[in-house]
Structure 1
Amino acid sequence: MLTVLDLINHYLGYFTTNSKTKGRIYTVVGAGGVWYLLYLAYRFFVNGRWLRGALIAAVFLLLLYFVILNIIYYFTKHTSKWDVSPRIEKLLGGPHEEKSERESETVIMPANGLYSRQNVMSGTVVSDAQQQANLDTLALEMRQLDLIANDYGHLGEQAQRQIIAQQGVIYANHPGTLLPYFAMRENNGTLQIFGGINQLQARELGNVSMVGLTPTAQALTNYRLAIASVVLIGGPSHLATRSELVDDVQPYKIKIEIAYDHI
C-alpha cells in the first residue's frame, strides 16, 4: 500500500495538482488498503489466531476512523466534532515545526527603497513571446527554491469568491510573490523590466506601456521614475462555479509599482 501511495505521489509530481485533489486520491487508495486489513483479520480469526486477528481488527478500526474523517474533509464541506487530528497536530508540534524549518533558511529579499504611497502608481507591463518565456523560466526557478506560496493567502472559500468576483480569478500565491531581484532600465524611450533570482541571472520580463494612466513616453518627459516593486502572479489558481471552486492554471505575469517625482 505504501508503495502504491509513493508511486501516486511520484507521478502526481509531474502535474499541477493542489493538495485537496491529492488528498482525495490518497483517501480513495487508502480506503482500499483499510478494507484489506479487515480481510486479513477475518482470515486470522478463521484460523484460530485470535490475538493477531484482534490486533489487526483494532488497527482496521483506527484507520477506518481516519479514512472517514478524510472523506468528510476532502469530499464534503462539513466537519466532525469527533475529529482528534487538531489535538494530534498540536501534540506533534503541528505546522509550527515546519514553519521554523523554513524560517531557518536564509532568503535574501530585495530592498529597493521606501516610497510614500502618494508618490507610487501602478504600471502596465506588456511581454512579447521571449519575455514571457523568461517569465515562465523565472517562475519555475522560484518554485524550485520554494519561494512561491501555494495556499491562496490562507483564505477560505467565501473570501476567495469575493476576490474572484472582483478579479475573475484568485491565484494560489495570492496576493503575489515579490521577485528576489528586479530593476527597470530606460532604452531609447522604452522602460524595460528585468527580474531574476539575483542580479547575475536577471532576464528581460517586459516593457512598461503605461505609468498609471499616462503613456510611458509622456511620463518620462514629466517625471523621474523608479521601480518600487515587481510582483509575480499567475500559475495555479481558482475559478468559481455556482457549487464549488475549480482548479485552473493561468499564465504567469508581473504587477509593478513605479515611484515618481516631478522633474
Structure 2
Amino acid sequence: MFSFLDFINRILNYIDIDTKIKSRIYIIVGFLANIYLFYVSFKFIHNGFMTRGIVFFLVALFLLYFVYLNYFYYFTEKQAPFDLSSKIMHKLGIKPREPKNTSLRGRQSGIQNVRGAISNGYFKENRMMPAILSSNPSEVERINQVADDLINDHLMTANYFGSSDVRINRALKENGDKPIYAIGKGCYVPYFLLKFESGKYNVYIGINQANRLLVGHLTQIGMQKINQIDHNRVDIFLASVLLVGGPFKTEGRLNPVEHHQNYQLKLKIAFN
C-alpha cells in the first residue's frame, strides 16, 4: 500500500498541477487507503488476531478523521463539525503558523506590481499630486489593449485571484456590497511616458518602450486645469501609472453577477 501511495506522490510531483487540485487527489487516495486499512483490520479480527486487528482499526479511524477534516477544507467553504485539530495541536505543544493574508478581501487590498515597476524614480510626497487623463474612444481601446497584453504575458492576473463564487459572495458581504474587481485594487503599468506635444501633455503606456501606445492627454493636475500651467516655468513628470477597473462582480440572488467595463488609469504627477 505504501509503495502505491509513494508511486502516486511521484506522479503528481512530475505534473504541473494546481496545489488545491493536488490536495484533493491526495484526499481521495487517502480515503481509498483508509478503506484498505479497515479491510485489513477486519481480516485480522476475522482470523483471530484480535490485538493486531484492533490496532489497525484504531489507526484507520484516526487517519479517517484527518481525511474528513481535509475534505471540508479543500472541497467546501465550510468549517468541519467536530474539528479538534486546534486542541490536538495544543496538547502536543505545536504552535500554529501565523496565517498569511490569503483571503480574497486581503488580496483585494493590495496592488499588483509588475516586477518592481511602481514609479519613475523617487519623488517626495509633497511634490506629487493626482492628475486627470482625457481619452477618446480609440485611446480607451488602447488602454484595454495594454491590460490584455499584461494578462497574456502573465504580468497581471484578472481571475479574481482564483476565488470561487462562494468566497466572492462572502467578500462582497464583508465589503458592504462594494464590487470585487478581477484585478483587485489595480496593477502598476511597467512602462509609461509623458511628452509635451502640440501644446498637450500626452501620456504613453505599454508593457515596454517598444510597445508603447498613446492613451490620452492630461486635462488637470490637482485642482488646476492644465491650460493654467506654464510649461516654461513648471516642470511636470509622470511619477506612476496605476491600471484599475475592468471586469467586476456584484452580489446576485444566488451567485455573483459579473459586469464588464473599460480599464482606466490613475496617474500621479510630480512637479518642480
Show the counterpart of 2:132. Answer: 122
Show the counterpart of 2:243. Answer: 232
Show the counterpart of 1:95. Answer: 100
TM superposition score normalised by structure 1: 0.57
Tell me: CA distance 1:69–1:139, structure 2 relative to 1, closer, same or farther (3 Å). Answer: closer
216, 221, 230: which one pairs with 2:227?
221
Equivalent residue letter for 2:77: F
Show the counterpart of 2:217. Answer: 208
Show the counterpart of 2:33. Answer: 37
Question: Quick one: distance in 2 between partners of 1:79 and 1:205?
Answer: 53
62, 66, 70: which one pairs with 2:66?
62
Equivalent residue letter for 1:137: D
Q: How many residues align?
A: 224
Tell me: CA distance 1:33–1:151, structure 2 relative to 1, closer, same or farther (3 Å). Answer: closer
Tell me: CA distance 1:79–1:207, structure 2 relative to 1, closer, same or farther (3 Å). Answer: farther
Tell me by how many angstroms 1:231 deviates. 0.6
Show the counterpart of 2:106. Answer: none
Quick check: 1:193 aligned with 2:195? no
Decide whether the 8 Å contact of 1:226 with 1:260 is kept in 2: yes
Decide whether the 8 Å contact of 1:161 with 1:240 is kept in 2: no
Kindly name which structure, 1 or 2, has the bigger radius of gyration based on alpha carbons: 2
Question: Quick one: distance in 1 between partners of 2:11 and 2:66?
Answer: 21
Tell me: CA distance 1:139–1:232, structure 2 relative to 1, closer, same or farther (3 Å). Answer: farther
Tell me: CA distance 1:123–1:212, structure 2 relative to 1, closer, same or farther (3 Å). Answer: farther
Equivalent residue letter for 1:136: D
Tell me: CA distance 1:208–1:117, structure 2 relative to 1, closer, same or farther (3 Å). Answer: same
For residue 241 of structure 1, give the secondary structure of its aligned residue in structure 2.
coil
Name stretches of at least 5 consecutive residues in structure 2 with no aligned partner. 1-7, 45-51, 102-114, 164-169
TM superposition score normalised by structure 2: 0.55
1:71-99 deviation per Cα after TM superposition (whole angstroms, max 9, x unaligned): 5xx434x6868464797996345439xxx
Question: Quick one: distance in 2 between partners of 1:33 and 1:181?
Answer: 48
Tell me by how many angstroms 1:28 deviates. 6.5
For residue 150 of structure 2, give the secondary structure of its aligned residue in structure 1.
helix
Question: Quick one: distance in 2 between partners of 1:129 and 1:80?
Answer: 50
Equivalent residue letter for 2:66: L
Decide whether the 8 Å contact of 2:160 with 2:182 is kept in 1: yes
1:76-124 deviation per Cα after TM superposition (whole angstroms, max 9, x unaligned): 4x6868464797996345439xxxxxxxxx8363236346599534334
Higher strand share: 1
Tell me by how many angstroms 1:5 deviates. 7.1
Show the counterpart of 2:252. Answer: 241
Please identify, of 121-130 and 38-47, the stretch whose mean Cα deviation from structure 2 is larger: 121-130
Kindly, what percent of the aligned residue pairs are identical? Answer: 14
Tell me: CA distance 1:180–1:54, structure 2 relative to 1, closer, same or farther (3 Å). Answer: same
Tell me by how many angstroms 1:41 deviates. 1.9
Equivalent residue letter for 1:231: L
